[in-house]
Amino acid sequence: MPGSDEVTFHIPSHWRVFVLDDTEERLRWFRERVPKMRSAKTAEAAIQILAAEQFDLIFLDHDLSWEDAGFPERQHGNGKEVARFLARTGFAGRVVIHSKNEDVVRVMARLLPAATIERFGDFDISES
């Protein structure tokens, strides 16, 4: 449950939501709040889904495995690769970058300047 400083995203029930995260605990958290969401645990799977389907809201994590953590220069296999895909294809929906990796959040935000940045654990979601 969010505290007084935390944000709650109110998502219309008809919106199509996509989540990129490799942590099953986080994906379970998202599913509890948005049961009809689509998700992927890898950048490759995310790009395949995003190329084939339309979404209104995307939640993006960066570090998709322990190997990516602390390596912001990595170009493939992380959320930055998906952010590049969204920027290149002109995604017009809403994007929330929810990575706890502060360095790459700034890079992803440059790729997607309209994105909202919220650390996972600092926000909640409700469907309306």
**Could you give all domains of the chain from N- to C-terminal order, each with its CATH number?**
7-127 (3.40.50.2300)
Contacts of 42 (CB under 8 A, 6+ apart): 22, 64, 77
pLDDT digits (tens, 9 = 90+) for 94-119: 999 987 777 778 888 999 999 999 98
User: Phi and psi dihedrals of 52, rounded to 5?
Assistant: -100, -20
User: Phi and psi dihedrals of 3, rounded to 5?
Assistant: -85, -175
Enumerate the β-bridge partners of residue 17: 57
End-to-end distance of the chain based on CA atoms, in angstroms?
17
pTM (2 d.p.)? 0.86
pLDDT in tens, the chain (128 residues): 344 467 999 999 999 999 999 889 999 999 999 999 999 998 889 999 999 999 999 999 877 764 444 445 544 568 888 999 999 999 999 999 987 777 778 888 999 999 999 988 889 999 88
Full DSSP string of 15-78: --EEEE---HHHHHHHHHH-TT-EEESSHHHHHHHHHHS--SEEEE-S--STTTTT-TT--SSS
